[in-house]
Structure 1
Amino acid sequence: MSTRKIAEIVKCMPPNEYDPSIQSVQTEHRLKLVEFWDIKSGSKVLEIGCGQGDTTAVLAYIIGDEGVVHGIDIASPDYGSPVTVGDSIDFLKNSSIGSRIKVDFETDVLSAEMDFPDKSFDYIVMSHCSWYLKSPKELHDILKKIKKWGNILCFAEWDTRVQTNEQLPHFLSVLIQAQYECFKENSLSNVRTLFTPKDIQNIVGSAGWQIVAEKTIDSSHLQDAKWEIQNTLASYKEELQSTNHLPHKFQALIQSEIYLLEAARNQDNVKSMSTYTFLAK
């Protein structure tokens, strides 16, 4: 992995005032994904769930001046912290690779107004965004709708098949979030639906795609485990209080899981889960 390439991409992203190394780590991971997908220079790419642009930046760098990345996200520009998705994308679009990027926020892929001509894109990318969806049906419907828009689907999400004890706290934190999300009508949480690799494989197939290459990538060094654990422990009481009609036994179960998470976070080497990624046609 070229450190020069990573540094050039990081310069296009807004700096993290708390820890400048964070963006380098995140960018290196996205670069591994894009290299596995083998996206070519000059390609037209549709990125669904682009968020703050971590994958967008890498895509724009790889496709070169002749390529285009069209990002779509249902979030409003003021969503996100410590930098909003809108501010992050604005910074990216003002960088040396910004002319290759177009982003539409507050855009629902499943709305009747949202459409592209057949085969408008060489690749369609969904990178670490599926857990933001509200249900398995929503993922299925998106995958089915977008199939006519592009030739190849490039997909990545956390791999819930925990491989080491150090990854268990990360998994437990997202499992806790996913459980109380089942009782919500609306949500802005990081984890709204938890998909295992097997869930994803089944949904992809039922939507008409065929996986042609897949891989599990080591992402244990990413900071996301720490972030998710902190977020879960800081917000679970408010989440439970704001969700009506939760059974008392379920609330007790969540509290027991929180006790386990509090104990697990004190392990010396908490690590993020791996990432499951694939190409489908």
Structure 2
Amino acid sequence: MSTSETPPATLAEKIASLSGYGPTSSVPQAQYRLDLIARWPIPKGARVLELGCGQGDTTLALAEAVGETGHVDAVDPGPLDYGAPKTLGQAHDTISAGPLGSRITWIQSEPLAFLSANPTAPRYDVAVLAHSLWYFASPALILTTLRALATRARRICIAEWSLSCAEGTSGTTHILAVLVQAALECRKPPSTSTANVRTVVSPARIKELAAEAGLVLQAGTEALVTPGAGVYDGRWETEHAVRAQFAEEVETFVGDDREKGVIYAFRDAVQTSLDRVGGMKGVGTMDGWVAVFEGTE
């Protein structure tokens, strides 16, 4: 290949270009989503249900994986004008207009409401919850949803942040930022929350809830996936935790002084960790955790 020729696009670059965000900002995120689904049994022609699709980061990768004969039903309860840099509606429209758009059906619904409204629909080959569990209002709602999902999909693939990172990495700041948000969110009425972190569940807790729902963890499917440079979830959550509005919400929603003390101590730990990594540009993103569960017959 001559130096004047443009090298072929990678799959992550292709997926990023279809998201509408622009390849520079979204290639690392696209690669991370591809790394997640590479751990999952999603064959060509599969019928996939994604719960909590958001702007479609994972949806695009799933649509690529299922091929021309497969399909993805992508469910999210968020208002179509929610989100940035593009709203859910704008992101979905951009994806639908691209070459993978025909493989996706967007459904605006609470996951449990969707599952309850279609009890006799054919089973999905695979159901996916990719970084969506922390948006649920409570562990009880996660459990109820998994119970409903257990009879609707042959396999359930879950990805969530692991609350762990390699020793000495800057992902520790991300972990602390998530925990301080969770400490505040559990004191807020669920109806008032629009945060990214509403209910924190660790991999161990997810496995407990899945087992209680009748799901069986497939042996050898648990893994940690380290995001590459340019996946900025750690920065986003840290920015949220240290902003002035966070302290205002603590004063509004937390009445007990001891509880306030715990939350502010967490927040101070975030700031100390942030200082130690040299500021926001030094904040990394913790590892993701993936696993595959079998549904019930």
TM-score scaled to structure 2, two decimals?
A: 0.88
Aligned match of 1:21:
24
Q: CA deviation at 1:100?
A: 0.6
Equivalent residue for 2:111, pick from 109, 112, 121: 109
Q: CA deviation at 1:118?
A: 5.4
Aligned match of 1:236:
246
- RMSD, aligned CA: 1.8
Q: Are the counterparts in 2 of residues 56 and 71 from structure 1 also a CA contact under 8 Å?
A: yes
Aligned match of 2:71:
68
Residue 263 of structure 2 is aligned to residue 254 of structure 1? yes
Q: Are the counterparts in 2 of residues 22 and 223 from structure 1 also a CA contact under 8 Å?
A: no
Amino acid at match of 2:112: L
Aligned match of 1:217:
225
Question: Deviation per CA, 1:224-245, whole angstroms, max 9, x where unpaired?
Answer: 10111011112312321332x5
Aligned match of 2:214:
208
Between 79-88 and 113-122, report the one with greater CA deviation: 113-122
Amino acid at match of 2:256: P
Q: CA deviation at 1:76?
A: 1.0
Distance 2:184 2:236 in 1: 18
Which runs of 5 or more structure 2 residues have no equivalent in the other structure?
1-7
Q: Are the counterparts in 2 of residues 219 and 272 from structure 1 also a CA contact under 8 Å?
A: yes
Q: Are the counterparts in 2 of residues 46 and 123 from structure 1 also a CA contact under 8 Å?
A: yes
Residue 276 of structure 2 is aligned to residue 273 of structure 1? no
Secondary structure, counterpart of 2:151 in structure 1:
helix
Q: CA deviation at 1:260?
A: 2.1
Q: Are the counterparts in 2 of residues 108 and 114 from structure 1 also a CA contact under 8 Å?
A: no
Distance 1:161 1:203 in 2: 20
Question: Deviation per CA, 1:56-102, whole angstroms, max 9, x where unpaired?
Answer: 00001111111110011111111112211111111101111000110
Aligned match of 2:81:
78
Distance 1:171 1:6 in 2: 26
Equivalent residue for 1:41, pick from 32, 40, 44: 44
**Distance 1:147-1:7 versus aligned 2 partners, 3 A rule:** same
Aligned match of 2:16:
10
Q: CA deviation at 1:254?
A: 2.0
Residue 65 of structure 2 is aligned to residue 57 of structure 1? no
Between 269-278 and 212-221, report the one with greater CA deviation: 212-221
Distance 1:85 1:144 in 2: 27
Distance 2:130 2:179 in 1: 20
Distance 1:127 1:272 in 2: 16
Between 110-119 and 28-37, report the one with greater CA deviation: 110-119
Equivalent residue for 1:155, pick from 150, 155, 158: 158
Q: Are the counterparts in 2 of residues 220 and 274 from structure 1 also a CA contact under 8 Å?
A: no
Larger Rg belongs to: 2
Amino acid at match of 1:8: K
**Distance 1:116-1:41 versus aligned 2 partners, 3 A rule:** farther
Aligned match of 1:226:
235
